[in-house]
Amino acid sequence: MRRGLSPDQLGDLFDLPLAAVVSLAKADGTVFARPVWHRWDGARFLIQLPAGDRKIAMLERDDRITLLLAENARPYRGIEVRGHARVLPGGYRELAMGICRRYVEAYDPASPVEAYVSAEPGVIVALEPDVMNAWDYADDQLMP
């Protein structure tokens, strides 16, 4: 297993239509984890949350967030990012469509991307990394 990789060493992992899992702290201290669509902008993850999504209120209460993105095929690349969420001002619809586009094209190409973005503005969350761990199994002798 190769550890301590930079995001640049993960190749096209960020371009694949893979859901990432975000984990947030609930008020009672337990962890809330859900899959999300995302985009990597070269330095941070951008996540679109539609209007009314309960994750918005959770992040307003506690902005700590962890995101895990991993593939389930060789070389089993992955990245975990822990940090703080920052809501980006304005431009929700355009940014949300940019995030959703690759997923819709991959899994529901007959539908317009707009159908996957809430009519009422949601939020775009930028995950500002404090800790980043990236790995792959490209050199693992035990992998077939």
Query: Structure pTM?
Result: 0.92
| pLDDT one-digit tens code per residue, 16-55 | 999 999 999 999 999 999 999 999 999 999 999 999 999 9
Per residue in 49-101, pLDDT (tens digit) is: 999 999 999 999 999 999 999 999 999 999 999 999 999 988 999 999 999 99
The predicted-structure confidence for 94-143, as pLDDT tens digits, reads as follows: 999 999 999 999 999 999 999 999 889 899 999 999 999 999 998 876 65
Which domains can be identified in the chain, with CATH numbers?
2-136 (2.30.110.10)
Q: DSSP letter string over the chain? A: -EES--GGGGGGGGGS-PPEEEEEE-TTS-EEEEEE-EEE-SSSEEEEE-TT-HHHHHHHH--EEEEEEE-SSTT--EEEEEEEEEEEPS-HHHHHHHHHHHHHHHH-TTS-GGGGS-SS--EEEEEEEEEEEEEE-TT-TT--
Q: Give the pLDDT confidence score for residue 90 in this predicted structure.
A: 87
